[in-house]
Structure 1
């Protein structure tokens, strides 16, 4: 894990299905995005915490989305928080982030952005969810989106909301 992370963090990666870049590229992207999210948002976890990423296809995400959110359609990213925080410290099980390849590819093409930039954004978005950030109302959404923009800027990625309304409608 990158030295930018102020706590010892293990990232587990499972590529289950879908069209994904090679694992070494994915690992580097995940580490950079997670490190930037932790540093820029001031996320705090107990040493030795763990986060799991499952990279899969739209069908697997559709099934999870139907089961856990009662929405029978794929979505780009789902976050499943782990253990409850003790005060402002999270962990040791931070949770799981599941990402759907076809949706990420399609959205990147529709937005005219690099796949790796969009994937980085979704990793950051998922990380913030694991630390109780949300976008259920406009105030929460503005805070979460402003953090996402700041984190992505640290990664050299353009504002993903520049050509869209500030409060995104995530399904």
Structure 2
């Protein structure tokens, strides 16, 4: 099932995967869930501001997830928003020696799992989330994202 995946670009699109890739990754991570997803691709300044505002952490980060909860009685079918920092994705992929396309896929899957309520605050939660991510990445033909 293909869902509505909206993309916003706050950076030039060169070197960023195409809309079909983002839709495929969201659909894979959303198996059994409903709702649209908005993905905003940002620069380090915007990512850093959002990371500070919403997580109290300084500097940019690779992906931020914002689950959506409609007010009671408002029928909105939106799972949530992801904010992905393109320069961080590219830099991390190079530092970890992994294909940049694989890192994009992993971060979208990771972010969507957060939108679905998964987390990695405890060791047990992390093991569950990382196992799901690894299985989904294998379905796409990518290596274990945590093996680098």
- Runs of 4+ residues over 2 Å off in structure 1: 18-22
Contact 1:55–1:98 (8 Å) recurs in 2: yes
Give the aligned partner of residue 44 of structure 1: 33
Figure out how many residues of one structure are paired with residues of the other and give that number. 144
Give the aligned partner of residue 73 of structure 2: none
C-alpha separation in 1, matches of 2:111 and 2:69: 15
C-alpha separation in 2, matches of 1:14 and 1:21: 15
C-alpha separation in 2, matches of 1:36 and 1:50: 13
Superposed CA RMSD in Å reads: 1.8
Q: CA deviation at 1:26?
A: 2.0
* Partner-residue secondary structure (3-state), 1:74: coil
Contact 1:18–1:100 (8 Å) recurs in 2: no
C-alpha separation in 2, matches of 1:20 and 1:123: 18
Identify which of 146, 150, 160 aligns with 2:131.
Answer: 146
1:32 aligns with 2:24: yes
Give the aligned partner of residue 110 of structure 2: 125
For structure 2, the 5+ residue unaligned runs are 71-75
Give the aligned partner of residue 55 of structure 1: 41
Give CA-to-partner distance per residue, 1:34-77, whole Å, 9 cap, x none: 122123xxx322xxx21100001111100000000111111100
Give the aligned partner of residue 78 of structure 2: 93
For structure 1, the 5+ residue unaligned runs are 85-90, 164-171
C-alpha separation in 2, matches of 1:125 and 1:75: 13
Q: CA deviation at 1:31?
A: 1.4
* Partner-residue secondary structure (3-state), 2:4: strand
1:16 aligns with 2:10: yes
